[in-house]
Amino acid sequence: MDLDDKNQQGQKGINTKVIKQGLCTGCCACVNLCPSMEYYKDKTTLVHDCNLDKGRCYTYCPRTPTNLEALRHELFNSRDIIWEIGPFKGLYMTRATDENIRAGAQHGGTVTALIQLALAEGIIDEAILADQNDQLLPIAQTIADKDAVFDKAGSKFVVSPTMSAFNRISQADAGKIGVVATPCQALALAKMKVNFVPEDKMRMEKLKLVLGLFCGWALDWRKLQKLLKEMLGDLQIKGIDIPPSKYACIEVYTTDRTMKIPIDKVNTCVRDNCNYCFDMTCEFADISVGAARSPEGWDVDKGWNQVIVRTALGEQLLALAREKGVLEFKAVPDKNIEKLKTASAGKKRTCLMNLSEKTGSLDDLIYIDPEDPVVRYIRGMKLG
């Protein structure tokens, strides 16, 4: 990479430093900000050359150099930061009280129930959710009717172009916006909120709620399609789920049966960029939601979620869900927080190792500052 490319902070920089480096997450934070970038079948593509030396595409991309510590302290109470899992005001086990939501949603249906509540109570006017077509290709949908949220329930396991929808509606006449986001999408939103360019100030004021999703990895849509075709033929797929690691498989639900695909086959479909992700629990959200884990086992856990509350708004929304009877709560197992911290630290450690291997230097982590206190902690260095 020559000096000119290193100094590029526009589309050329995105292409050289992110896309060609295999770091693009597909979050689409660069799409619908200008006509030069587009989303096409799980890929962010360059459709026109842009010679701007500096652009919003580069500023907001979650894989361009990011001062994570500045974002943490701007958006959260610094006293709430837990090194392994980010801002933390509490861990809960929840599920939707509505049995219809639980039957159609992923795990306990907590995200669906919270988005419906936020819409019903006027906390947000619109929500951006992931949908998918009959070939499992995600589509970002904007929903204003709380009753329409149910139809979008369920994890997709392929990255949705969520940020392109946010960019589009936030520049239009939208009111208060809520986003269900993966970790890379939530980081892009955090960069937009803190490091916005002047022309984006008003549209970022519309962002009122971020519900985050725990994410270990996402699948490459093309590779997934090929694998499912090989394993299942033309069977119609209703959903996919990931049991705990000891099961070493994913479960695919068809119209008449549950199929198990060995995890080693699934791993061949994981997007390359996921190897360079520093965040498992979506640390830049108001509330983060993942699959439950407890001594009761998978048959029980797949009906519940574990929830990390990160902000005062998150606390208020979860308290409102309890007050309105929207969510059911149960005791969190004693060791769950430590298990989450261990799993998240493992992902961070793997990310740092992979970034160092890519650059050949412990001091060059591409988009992460090697002096970031969380990086130093994960590497076993003393803080302060």
List, for residues 231-248, the tens digit of each pLDDT value.
888 888 888 888 888 889
In this prediction, residue 6 carries a pLDDT of 59
H or E element in which residue 258 lies: strand 258-262
Position 77 confidence tier, pLDDT thresholds 50, 70, 90: very high
What distance in Å separates the CA atoms of residue 240 and residue 244, rounded to the nearest whole number?
Answer: 14
- What domains appear along the chain, each with residue ranges and CATH number? 3-67+360-371 (3.30.70.20), 69-218+273-343 (3.40.640), 221-269 (3.10.450)
List, for residues 80-105, the tens digit of each pLDDT value.
999 999 999 999 999 999 999 998 88
List, for residues 116-174, the tens digit of each pLDDT value.
999 999 999 999 998 888 778 888 999 999 988 987 776 678 889 999 999 999 999 88
List, for residues 30-55, the tens digit of each pLDDT value.
999 878 889 988 888 888 888 888 89
Question: CA dist 130 to 293, 316, 333, Å?
Answer: 24, 24, 30
In this prediction, residue 381 carries a pLDDT of 63
What distance in Å separates the CA atoms of residue 101 and residue 306, rounded to the nearest whole number?
Answer: 17
In this prediction, residue 118 carries a pLDDT of 98
DSSP classification of residue 157: S
What six digits make up the tokens of 195? 């490091």
Q: Which DSSP string corresponds to 262-322? A: EHHHHHTTB-GGGGG---SS-TTSSEEEEE---TT-HHHHTT-EEEEE-SHHHHHHHHHHH
What distance in Å separates the CA atoms of residue 141 and residue 162, rounded to the nearest whole number?
Answer: 8
In this prediction, residue 2 carries a pLDDT of 45
In this prediction, residue 35 carries a pLDDT of 82
